[in-house]
Amino acid sequence: MALLGAGGAGSALGVGLAAAGIAVTAVWSRRFERAQALAAQLPGAEALADPQAAAERGALVVLAVPDSAIAPLCAQLRWRAGQAVIHLAGAYGRELLAAAARAGAETGAFHPLQTFAGPADPRAWHGVGIAIDADPPLADELVWLARQLGAEPFPLDPAQRPLYHAAAAIAANGFVALVGTAAELLGRAAGLERARAVRHLLPLLRGVLHNLEQLGLPQALTGPVARADRATLERHVAALAQAAPEWQTLYRELCRAMLPLARERAAADPERLAAL
């Protein structure tokens, strides 16, 4: 395999492959020192300064560059039949690799439902869903590859990739934004600086993840909406109106999203829930 791109996702993939005993022969990154740093972690891998030279070293070539750079990089390289090229983007399908397909290469998309930031850790792949779009035989190879990483591959209709990726962005990036908002409000309420507010939120968030893992939906939903506690919700809304009016709309929309789960959980009186 050849890895073109040594950022968060490329590094995580390289380290995951190395842990699974799969050889990465060549690594390229726009900045050579970044390719060198990743290649140093992958037994047998060589950092190359030229993307074409790197691509030629792989039967399977991974374009692990930002979404907007995939098609231009693919178009800049020479491809041949017998070679396969994949990208890691969630919101796009194989259309980004049309230049390689025209030259006879197999093309595919391989998107991990995971977030990669900080030092690469092979355990980050365990149990991760991987949305695959490819034709056989590449599709079978990508399924095999995903399983070697300890991940769980599934096919995804290319037309559904934008919606699928919006879901991933809500869960991952939306979650971080919600924590940022909660930390800001906690800071205003208790005079805590942001890092400390986040630290105090972490046990709560771990509890939520634990409940989601152990109980699933809708049981993991607790709080005033699940209890149909109108008086407490009114206190929240009044406090936000006074101290943080910019977050009122978000709070109301989140409560709206909780309602179907609360109805499904049926922990509260249905009439009081309907009144909410």
Ligand X SMILES: NC(=O)c1ccc[n+]([C@@H]2O[C@H](COP(=O)([O-])OP(=O)(O)OC[C@H]3O[C@@H](n4cnc5c(N)ncnc54)[C@H](OP(=O)(O)O)[C@@H]3O)[C@@H](O)[C@H]2O)c1
Instruction: Indicate the angle between helix axes 175-190 and 194-214, nearest 10 degrees.
Output: 130
For the chain, the straight-line distance linking the first and the last C-alpha, in angstroms and rounded, comes to 56
Cβ distance to ligand X smaller for residue 10 or 93: 10
Q: Contact with ligand X (CB under 6 A): which of 6, 39, 84, 197?
A: 6
Q: Contact with ligand X (CB under 6 A): which of 23, 31, 243, 248?
A: 31
Residue 6: CB minimum distance to ligand X, A = 4
**Does residue number 233 form part of the binding site for ligand X (CB under 6 A)?**
no
Cβ distance to ligand X smaller for residue 168 or 273: 168
Residue 68: CB minimum distance to ligand X, A = 7
Cβ distance to ligand X smaller for residue 124 or 228: 124
Q: Contact with ligand X (CB under 6 A): which of 111, 161, 263, 265?
A: 111
Q: Which residue is nearest to ligand X (CB)?
A: 7
Footprint of ligand X on 71-110 (CB under 6 A): 73, 87-90
Q: Contact with ligand X (CB under 6 A): which of 69, 178, 179, 259?
A: 69
**Does residue number 10 form part of the binding site for ligand X (CB under 6 A)?**
yes
Q: Give which of 129, 138, 125, 131 is closest to 61, Cα–Cα.
A: 138
Footprint of ligand X on 47-66 (CB under 6 A): 64-66
**Does residue number 34 form part of the binding site for ligand X (CB under 6 A)?**
yes
Number of residues that bind ligand X (CB under 6 A): 25
Positions in the binding site for ligand X (CB under 6 A):
5-10, 29-31, 34, 64-67, 69, 73, 87-90, 111-112, 114-116
